[in-house]
C-alpha cells in the first residue's frame, strides 16, 4: 500500500535550545516544511527580537539536506509583550501567532496567564492584525479531575473570550477531548491541531499496565471515547483540523525521575503514526488534507509543491528507539513500533 502526499507541515512543535535543539531539529526539518515553533523556552520568547534570534539559531542548527525547512515563530502571551513590537513583528514577517499558556499548566509555563481575560487588549490586537491566538486549553485548578481539565478550561476561559471577540482566530492546540472537538464544531473562527500520540493512544495505554512516562504529556492522553472523537475529526477531511505534533523532547533523566516531565518526542515517527491511524480508519484518502493542506490554508500559505511517499509494508524494518544528544542526554522516540511497518521517502 502506497500513498503520495504534499510535503507535510507541523503546526505545533517544541525545538528547545542549545544541545537539545541541535539534536532534534533535523527530525523535524527532514520531515516537515513549515514548523510552528512554540515559545516556551526557559526564558520565554516575548518580543520580535527574541523570536528573530531564536529563528536564526534554529536555521543555523538545521541540516543542510533540508533546504525547504521553514520555522515559523510565535510569541509567549505575557504582560511583557509590547503591542507595538507585536505589530512590527507581524509586519516584518517574524511573528506568525501568539501562544497562551495557563500559568503552571505544562513545561516552562510559569510565566503564563492566570486568566485569559487579563489579555483582552492583546487579543483585540491579534484580531485587528488577523493573527491567530494559539491556546493551551487546560485548567490548572487542582480541584478539577485531570481528565476534565480541557473541558473545564474551554467552558470557563475560552468560550467567554471567543464569544466576546468572535473575529479572533483561535487554534485550540493539541486537542485531547470530545469537548475540544465540539468547541471547534461550534465556532467558525476556531481550528485545532491534533497530535500523533492523542490520535494513537488512550488513557489505558498510559496507565493500565503501570504508568508509562514516555506517554505522559499535557494535556494528558484521555479516554477511548475522546480518542474516537479526535480520530473522527482528523480523518474527516474537514479543513479546521490539522497536524500539530506537539513533539516535545525530554531526557530520560527527566521522564523517569520522581516527577515525569510532560512531553512526547514524536518528530521522528509522527508521520508514520498518523498514517497508521488513517489506514486503520479506512481514510488514507484524507491524509493529505490533515497533514499538508488544512493547516496551510488556515495560516494562509500555499501547500507544498513537493511530495512525500508513504508505503506500508509487511516486512518489519529496524528503526531506532532512542537518540543521545552531544551533552549525553538520551531521549525516547515515540512511535517506533509503528514505524517498523512504514517507509517514508521524499520525492
Write out the catalytic residue numbers.
246
In sequence order, which residues have a C-beta less than 8 Å from that of residue 260 and are 6 or more positions away? 211, 213, 216, 254
Residues paired with residue 99 on neighbouring β-strands, in sequence order:
76, 134
For cell 538545521, name the residue.
62
Contact 42/51 with Cβ under 8 angstroms?
no
Q: How many Cα atoms within 13 Å fall on the side-chain side of residue 241?
A: 25
Measuring CA to CA, how many Å separate 177 from each of 104, 261, 288?
Answer: 20, 21, 23
Residues paired with residue 308 on neighbouring β-strands, in sequence order:
5, 346
User: For the chain, what is the radius of gyration of the CA atoms?
Assistant: 19
In sequence order, which residues have a C-beta less than 8 Å from that of residue 189 and are 6 or more positions away? 162, 166, 167, 168, 169, 170
As given in the structure block, the three cell numbers for residue 339 are 514505524
The CA-to-CA distance between both ends of the chain, in Å, stands at 17
Q: What distance in Å separates the CA atoms of residue 334 and residue 343, rounded to the nearest whole number?
A: 16
CA 102 distance to own-chain centroid: 16
Contact 251/332 with Cβ under 8 angstroms?
no
Measuring CA to CA, how many Å separate 297 from each of 121, 180, 240, 289, 303?
Answer: 27, 21, 9, 10, 8
For residue 13, is it left (φ>0), alpha (ψ between -120 and 50) or beta? beta
Pairing relationship of beta strands 10-13 and 322-324 according to DSSP bridges:
unpaired
Q: What distance in Å separates the CA atoms of residue 289 and residue 237, rounded to the nearest whole number?
A: 6
Amino acid at each position: 500500500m502506497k500513498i503520495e502526499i504534499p510535503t507535510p507541515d507541523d503546526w505545533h512543535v517544541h525545538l528547545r535550545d542549545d544541545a537539545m535543539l541541535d539534536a532534534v531539529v533535523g527530525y523535524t526539518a527532514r520531515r516537515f516544511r513549515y514548523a510552528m515553533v512554540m515559545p516556551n523556552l526557559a526564558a520565554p520568547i516575548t518580543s520580535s527580537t527574541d523570536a528573530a534570534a531564536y529563528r536564526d539559531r534554529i536555521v543555523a542548527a538545521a541540516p543542510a539536506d533540508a533546504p525547504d525547512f521553514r520555522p515559523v515563530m510565535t510569541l509567549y502571551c505575557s504582560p511583557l509583550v509590547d503591542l507595538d513590537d507585536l505589530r512590527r513583528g507581524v509586519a516584518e514577517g517574524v511573528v506568525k501567532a501568539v501562544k497562551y499558556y495557563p500559568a503552571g499548566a505544562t513545561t516552562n509555563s510559569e510565566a503564563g496567564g492566570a486568566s485569559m481575560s487579563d489579555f483582552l487588549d492583546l487579543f483585540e490586537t491579534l484580531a485587528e492584525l488577523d493573527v491567530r491566538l494559539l491556546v493551551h486549553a487546560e485548567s490548572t485548578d487542582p480541584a478539577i479531575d485531570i481528565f476534565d481539565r480541557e473541558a473545564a478550561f474551554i467552558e470557563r476561559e475560552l468560550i467567554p473570550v471567543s464569544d466576546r471577540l468572535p473575529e479572533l482566530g483561535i487554534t485550540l492546540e493539541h486537542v485531547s477531548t470530545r469537548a475540544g472537538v465540539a468547541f471547534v464544531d461550534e465556532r467558525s473562527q476556531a481550528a485545532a491541531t491534533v497530535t500523533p500520540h492523542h490520535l494513537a493512544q488512550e488513557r489505558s495505554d498510559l496507565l493500565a499496565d503501570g504508568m508509562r512516562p514516555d506517554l505522559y504529556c499535557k494535556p494528558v492522553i484521555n479516554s477511548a471515547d475522546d480518542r474516537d472523537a479526535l480520530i473522527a475529526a482528523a480523518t474527516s477531511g474537514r479543513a479546521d483540523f490539522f497536524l500539530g505534533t506537539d513533539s516535545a523532547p525530554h531526557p530520560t533523566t527527566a521522564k523517569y525521575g520522581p516527577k515525569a516531565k510532560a512531553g512526547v518526542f514524536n518528530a521522528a515517527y509522527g508521520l508514520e503514526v498518523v498514517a497508521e491511524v488513517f489506514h486503520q480508519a479506512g481514510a488514507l484518502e484524507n491524509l493529505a488534507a490533515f497533514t499538508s493542506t488544512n493547516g496551510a490554508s488556515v495560516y494562509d500559505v500555499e501547500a507544498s509543491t513537493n511530495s512525500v511517499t508513504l508505503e506500508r509494508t509487511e516486512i518489519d524494518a529496524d528503526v531506532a528507539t532512542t537518540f543521545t544528544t552531544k551533552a549525553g542526554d538520551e531521549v525516547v522516540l515515540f512511535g517506533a513500533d509503528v514505524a517498523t511497518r512504514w517507509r517514508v521517502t521524499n520525492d
